[in-house]
Structure 1
Amino acid sequence: MLFLRTVLFTILSLLHSVEAYSYQKDTTSRKIALTVDHPAFMDGPREVSLVQVDEEQAASYFYMTVESVLCADHICKVVPVRLYWDSFGNYIKYRLEEGVTLEKGDGQPFDEDDYIKLDEILTNKNAALRSLAYSDIIQTKVHGEVDAMSGATALILPDDESIEGATWTCYTLWHWVHGEMHHKVREIYAATLDQQQLVAMLGLNDKEKVKFAYESLARLNELDNGTKAILLESAQSWDKEIAAIICPAMQNWHVSFQTGLAQELLSNPSSSARLLTLDAISENKELSSFRSLLLGHIGSTDSFLEVDKTIEMMGRYGELYEGEVDALQEVMLRENFLIARRLFYFLKDQSMTRGQQEIMKEFAHENTERL
C-alpha cells in the first residue's frame, strides 16, 4: 500500500512540474471572463479568467488558476494552483507550478500523502466541506488542534476529508472546484451544443450526462419541434430530479406546449413529479390556460395533497361553471372521504343549481359527524 501511494505521488509530482502549464499539440484555447462568487469572498463576487481548451479528437476541458488559500489575515502562504474541469464541470485534477509547494500550519510543507489526499478530497463532490461556512473554518479548531489561523472551539472533520493544518486550503480549493464554477463550466459547454446534440445526449446510458442535457434544454427559451416531441414522449418517465429541472422552465415556453407537457407530467406515476408540476402551474402567468387540465386532475388522483393544491388554484378562477361543479361533486361522492370533505368545503360557497344544492345538503346530512 505504501509503495502504491509513493508511486502515485511520484506521478503527481511529475505532472505538477512537467504538464502543469503546457499544451499538447493540435489544441486551441480561449479565455473567458466571468464573475463568480466564493464562500470566502468577503466583498462579494469577483471577476476571474477561465480558459477553455479544445484538443483535436478529444473532449474539451477547462482550467483556472486560483490562490491556494483565501486568507483574510494575509498570514498564510499563498501559491497559485491550477484547477481543471471536464466539459460537464467535473473535477479532473489540480496542478502546481514547478518548484511550488503547498504549506500546512506552522510552515510545514505538504508531504506526499498530503498531495494525494488533497486530490481525493477535491474528487469528492459530497465532502463535509460542502456544508461548512467560511466562518466555521476561521473561527474554530479542526481535528482537535489549532489549525492555521483558527480560533478556539472544536470542529470535527473526518480524517479523509481534510488535511490537518491545511483545512483552509482544502476548503478554498474544494469550493472553487464544486461551487459556482462547476455550474459556469456546464453552462459554457452547453452553449456550444445545438438542440439535436442535447436530445441525442438524453439517450445515453449515463445519468450525469442525461441530467446535463435536461438542464441545458431548460435554459432555452425556444425549443424546436423535435425537442418538444422528445420531452412530451419522456415526461411520464421522469423522476423527481428531472421534473425539478424542467418544471420551473415550463413558463418560458409557448403555452400550448406548456399545457401538453403538464398533462403528460400529471400522468407521471411519481407523486413527487406531479406535485412539482402543480407547483409550476401555480406560479405560471398563464394559469387560466390550465383550467380544464386542473379540473380533470382532481378526478384522476387519489392524492389529498395534489387535490388540495389543485383546489387552491381552481379557487383563483372565481365562480365555477355549472359543469365544473357537476364534475367536482361527482368526485366528492366517491369513497375517499378526506378528498370529499375538502371538496365539500370548497363547493359550498359556489353558486349552484337547485339540483346541485340538494346534493350538498344530502352529503352534509349523511356525514354530519365527520364534517
Structure 2
Amino acid sequence: MKIAFSPFLKYIFIGVLLSSFLQADPPLKYMKASTINESFVTEGSFQETIKDNITNEPVYIQKSKEGIPLYYRKIIRDDVCFDKECRKLDIIIYWNITGRYLGFELPEGEFLSKLDHEPFVESEYQRLHALLADSSIPLDAVSFEELIEKPSLKHQDLDAVSGATSKSLAEMVVKGAAYTTYKLWNIVNGPTMDFLSKNTENQLTAHLIHLILQSPESFDRVWALHKINSSVPLTPDLENALLEIISSDDFYLSYTAIQAIEAVHLNSFEFQERLFSLYKNANHSIQKELLKTLMEAPVLSPKLVGSSKGLLKQLNGQQLENILALYARHSIYDLETCRAVASILDNENPFISKKAYHFLVRIKSKDEFIQERLKAYKN
C-alpha cells in the first residue's frame, strides 16, 4: 500500500533530514597554542608538500601568503589491533614550525577506541592530547612488550595488546589504549619532529625569528634564541625582542637571550647602551652575564662607560670587580674613569676599597689626585 504525503509534509520531512545533517558532529580536533599568531592564517595561505626523509612519507606545510611557514601536518593511516581484531587508525597530526607537537584531528565520522572497540570519551581525548605534548615521557626508551604486563601461562593465547598496562608505566598511556598512545607518541616525538624543526631552520630569517619569539610557548622562544648566530642581523624588531626577554622575570629565557648575542651584534654603540641600561634592575647572575657579553664588544661605547661610572659608588664588591674587569678588558684607563674609581678608595667595606686599589695600582697613573688617594688608602 502506498502512503501519500501532502506537499507540506514532504517539506517538513526534507527539513528534518537537512537539519539532522547540518547538526552532525564536527570532526574531533585538539590543538595547542600555535607558534605563529593565528592572524597569519588568513585568506591566501597555501600548502606545500615535502617528503619526510626519515619515513619517506609526505608532510604538508601550511604557509602564509607571504611564504611564512605556519605549521606542519601529516596524515597517519594504520591498523590498531585488539584481541586480533583490527580497525583502521585514521588521524591527522599537527606540528608547530619549531617541531613542537601542535595537535591532532580526526576526519568526520572517525573516532579513537579502547579495548572492545569502546570509543574514547572526552576526558580520554584530552588525556591523549596532553600525553602527546609531553616529550619528556620515556615512551621511546621502552618497547611495547615492556609496556604490557605478561599474561599468565593459562592465558598465553591472549593478544598482548589487550594485556593490562604495566603499573609502572600506566601513567604514560590512556587506560585501555596503550598501543594507540604508544604508537602516536612515537610518531609525534620521533625523528619526524627533528626533520620538521630542521626544515624550518633552513628557512629562517631575522623576521621569522622575531615572529617565533612572540610565541606564547617558552619552548618556541628558546628554540628561536638558539638559532641566532653571527649571520643573523639584529633588526630593530629582533633587537627589541631580545631586550624585552632579557628584562623579563624568566631567568632561563633571559640567560639564553644574552647567550644569543654575538660580538658582531655589539658593533652598534646604541645596542650596547640599551643592553647596559638593563644592568641596574637585573639580578646578580644576569648582571654578570651582561658584562661578560659586553666584554666581547669590539669597542666599548663611551656613553656606556659614562653610565657605568655613575654606578660605581652603589656597587657591592662582586659587582665592582665585574665592572672593573670590563674596564680592564677594554683598556678603559682614561683620567676621568680612574678618578671615579679612586673616589671609592675610602669605602668602609675593605673588599670594595681593595678592588679599587688593585685596579689603580696596575695602571700606575701619575695623576696627583689619584696618587694622593692611593697614599691615603695605604696609610
Smaller-chain TM-score range?
0.5 to 0.7
**Whole-Å Cα distance in 2 between the matches of residues 304 and 47 of structure 1?**
60
Select which of 263, 267, 282 maps to 1:255. Answer: 267
**Does residue 162 in structure 1 map to residue 177 in structure 2?**
no
- Percent identity, please: 12
Q: Tell me the equivalent position of 1:30.
A: 48
Q: Tell me the equivalent position of 2:341.
A: 328
Q: Tell me the equivalent position of 1:289.
A: 300
**Whole-Å Cα distance in 2 between the matches of residues 232 and 48 of structure 1?**
37
**Does residue 83 in structure 1 map to residue 83 in structure 2?**
no
Kindly provide the CA deviation profile for residues 118-157 of structure 1, in whole angstroms up to 9, marking residues without a partner as x: 6534436874x5164844x3599669x56989xxxx9945
Kindly provide the CA deviation profile for residues 186-220 of structure 1, in whole angstroms up to 9, marking residues without a partner as x: 7589759679x959x96xxx8449x7599489578
SS in 2 for 1:222: coil
Q: 1:83: how far off? A: 1.4
**Whole-Å Cα distance in 2 between the matches of residues 109 and 175 of structure 1?**
28
Select which of 70, 74, 81 maps to 1:64. Answer: 74
**Whole-Å Cα distance in 2 between the matches of residues 303 and 268 of structure 1?**
14
Structure (1 or 2) with the larger CA radius of gyration = 2
1:333–1:131 Cα change, 3 Å: farther
Kindly provide the CA deviation profile for residues 82-110 of structure 1, in whole angstroms up to 9, marking residues without a partner as x: 4113567551215589999899xxxx788
Kindly provide the CA deviation profile for residues 273-321 of structure 1, in whole angstroms up to 9, marking residues without a partner as x: 4344224324x3x343357636743652635554444333433346834
Select which of 265, 269, 280 maps to 2:293. Answer: 280
Letter in 1 for 2:48: R
- Paired residues for 1:122-201 under 5 Å: 122-123=129-130, 127=134, 129-130=135-136, 132=138, 134-135=140-141, 137-138=142-143, 145=149, 156=168, 159=171, 161-163=172-174, 165-166=178-179, 168-169=182-183, 171-176=185-190, 180=194, 183=197, 198=211
Q: Tell me the equivalent position of 1:349.
A: 362
TM-score by length of 2: 0.54
Q: Tell me the equivalent position of 1:75.
A: none
Letter in 2 for 1:30: E
**Does residue 359 in structure 1 map to residue 377 in structure 2?**
no
1:279–1:354 Cα change, 3 Å: closer
Residues 328 and 343 of structure 1 are in contact (CA less than 8 Å); yes or no, is this contact kept in structure 2?
yes
Select which of 222, 229, 232 maps to 1:221. Answer: 232
Give the gaps of 5 or more residues in structure 2.
Answer: 1-23, 30-42, 79-87, 152-159
1:338–1:190 Cα change, 3 Å: same
Residues 73 and 92 of structure 2 are in contact (CA less than 8 Å); yes or no, is this contact kept in structure 1?
yes
Residues 325 and 347 of structure 1 are in contact (CA less than 8 Å); yes or no, is this contact kept in structure 2?
yes
**Whole-Å Cα distance in 1 between the matches of residues 75 and 273 of structure 2?**
46
Kindly provide the CA deviation profile for residues 13-61 of structure 1, in whole angstroms up to 9, marking residues without a partner as x: x659xxxxxxxx99731024577xxxxxxxxx888753113599xx954
- RMSD over equivalenced CA pairs, Å: 5.7
1:316–1:276 Cα change, 3 Å: closer
**Whole-Å Cα distance in 1 between the matches of residues 241 and 63 of structure 2?**
31
Q: 1:255: how far off? A: 1.1
Residues 50 and 61 of structure 2 are in contact (CA less than 8 Å); yes or no, is this contact kept in structure 1?
yes
**Whole-Å Cα distance in 2 between the matches of residues 333 and 62 of structure 1?**
64
1:304–1:265 Cα change, 3 Å: same
Letter in 2 for 1:93: F
**Whole-Å Cα distance in 2 between the matches of residues 338 and 146 of structure 1?**
67
**Whole-Å Cα distance in 2 between the matches of residues 363 and 109 of structure 1?**
87
1:338–1:27 Cα change, 3 Å: same
**Does residue 314 in structure 1 map to residue 327 in structure 2?**
yes
Q: Tell me the equivalent position of 1:22.
A: none
Letter in 1 for 2:373: I
Letter in 2 for 1:62: Y
**Whole-Å Cα distance in 1 between the matches of residues 256 and 325 of structure 2?**
24
**Whole-Å Cα distance in 2 between the matches of residues 295 and 138 of structure 1?**
63
**Whole-Å Cα distance in 2 between the matches of residues 336 and 116 of structure 1?**
62
Q: Tell me the equivalent position of 2:103.
A: 92
Residues 276 and 304 of structure 2 are in contact (CA less than 8 Å); yes or no, is this contact kept in structure 1?
yes
Q: Tell me the equivalent position of 1:74.
A: none
